[in-house]
C-alpha cells in the first residue's frame, strides 16, 4: 500500500458513498484509476465491505453492555464462539488476553431485554461465568485510526 491507497482508504472511511470522481479529486487520480485501486483493495482483503451506520437507540436498542465471558476448561473455543453468534443481542465478539477468554458487546431494547439476553448467555454451553459492564453513554465509537505509512 502506498500513500494514495492510505488517502483513498481515509476518504472512504469518511464517506463510503463518495463517487469515484469525488474520491479521485481527493486523492489526485482519475475516476477509473480510483475504481481500479478500490477493486484491488477489495480483492486484497484490505476493504472488506461497506455498511450503513445506524444509531442503535433510533432502532430500539437503547441499552448496551460489555460482557466478559469466562470459558469452561473443557469447552471448545470455536464451538463457544459459534454458540454465541446465535444470540441476537451479541453485536461483537473479541478474543482477548486477560482473565476472560472473550469480551462481547450486547445491545438490547431495555434493561429487561438485556437481563434476558444475559440469562441466555450464561446458559450457553461452554460458558463458566460472565462479568457485565453496562454502558451509560457512548461519547464516540467506530473510530478507525489508520496507521501512518511505514508503521
pLDDT tens digits along 111-140 = 999 999 999 999 999 999 999 999 999 998
For residue 150, what pLDDT is reported? 67
106 three-class SS: strand
In terms of DSSP bridges, do strands 63-71 and 102-108 run parallel, antiparallel, or are they unpaired?
antiparallel
Domain 3-43 top-level CATH class: mainly alpha
pLDDT in tens, 65-111: 999 999 999 999 999 999 999 999 999 999 999 999 999 999 999 99
Domain with CATH 3.30.70.920 in the chain: 56-135
Question: Taking the complete model, does pTM exceed 0.85, yes or no?
Answer: no
State the pLDDT at residue 151.
56
Of the CATH numbers 1.10.1660.10, 1.10.1530.10, 3.30.70.920, 1.10.3470.10, which one belongs to the domain with range 56-135? 3.30.70.920
Which pLDDT score is estimated for 113? 98
Q: What pLDDT does 1 receive?
A: 87
Is 50 strand, coil or helix?
coil
Instruction: Give the Cα separation of 151 and 142 in Å (integer).
Output: 21
Domain(s) of CATH 1.10.10.10: residues in the chain: 3-43
Please give the sequence-ordered ranges of beta strands (E in DSSP) within the chain, or none if there are none: 63-71, 90-95, 102-108, 127-135
Closest CA to 52 of 140, 142, 145: 142
pLDDT, average across residues 47-75: 94
Amino acid at each position: 500500500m502506498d500513500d494514495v491507497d492510505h488517502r483513498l482508504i481515509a476518504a472512504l472511511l469518511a464517506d463510503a458513498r463518495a463517487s469515484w470522481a469525488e474520491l479521485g479529486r481527493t486523492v489526485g487520480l482519475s475516476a477509473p484509476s480510483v475504481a481500479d485501486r478500490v477493486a484491488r483493495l477489495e480483492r486484497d482483503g484490505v476493504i472488506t465491505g461497506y455498511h450503513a451506520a445506524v444509531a442503535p437507540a433510533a432502532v430500539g436498542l437503547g441499552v448496551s453492555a460489555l460482557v466478559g465471558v469466562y470459558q469452561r476448561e473443557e469447552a471448545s473455543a470455536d464451538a463457544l464462539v459459534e454458540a454465541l453468534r446465535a444470540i441476537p443481542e451479541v453485536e461483537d465478539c473479541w478474543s482477548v488476553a486477560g482473565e476472560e477468554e472473550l469480551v462481547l458487546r450486547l445491545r438490547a431494547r431495555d434493561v429487561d431485554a438485556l437481563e434476558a439476553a444475559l440469562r441466555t448467555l450464561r446458559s450457553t454451553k461452554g460458558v463458566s461465568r460472565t462479568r457485565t459492564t453496562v454502558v451509560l453513554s457512548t461519547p464516540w465509537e467506530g473510530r478507525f485510526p489508520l496507521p501512518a505509512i511505514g508503521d
